[in-house]
Amino acid sequence: MTTTHERPSEEIRILATGGTFDKEYNELDGTLYFEDSHLYEMLKKGRSTLRINIRTLMMVDSLEMTKSDREVILHSCLRSEVSKIIITHGTDTMIDTAQLLKEQITDKTVILTGALIPYAFGTSDGFFNLGNAIGFVQVLMPGVYICMNGRIFNPDEVKKNYSTGFFEAIS
């Protein structure tokens, strides 16, 4: 009789920073706002069995993210004892944050992901992007990456196409 021994999974840290990913919709006045992260619900719905630790750093739209906010993200990654990190981030300035992180983080696998449609809408791409980021963070070599639309990108070789809503490799 053969027995298999499953290795315990390495812990994955998710840092929530806000962005469209976690926005709520006020049906009365049509505004988008932040309340709590949807990450816990998403992991539960996805039936994740991984060791995932979620930390909310901030809840801001990435267009309103400051240099100080990016420094908080950087220092959270640098101080983390965990080597596999996912950052949920607004898509408008995700590339800027990824490039900053790439300059200083070389010994950890860091993936930034987000959504163009709020998770609360029910038709969000955030669920798909989060699932992909969780898979990629477990297998990629140390470095900083962007995970959107089922693809993984180097922060220096990607752009957001505002007319299609997709992230694309820069040719």
In this predicted structure, the answer to whether residue 149 has a pLDDT above a threshold of 60 is yes
Mean pLDDT of 158-162: 94
Q: Is 137 helix (H, G, I), strand (E, B) or coil?
A: helix
pLDDT of residue 41: 79
Question: What residues contact residue 65 under an 8 Å CB cut-off, 6+ apart?
Answer: 17, 90, 93, 97
pLDDT in tens, 33-90: 567 777 877 778 888 878 899 999 998 888 889 999 999 999 999 999 999 999 999 9
Whole-prediction pTM: 0.87
Answer for the pair 97, 88: CB distance below 8 angstroms, yes or no.
no
Average pLDDT over all residues of the chain? 87
Structure-token pair, residue 144: 């900083």
pLDDT of residue 6: 55
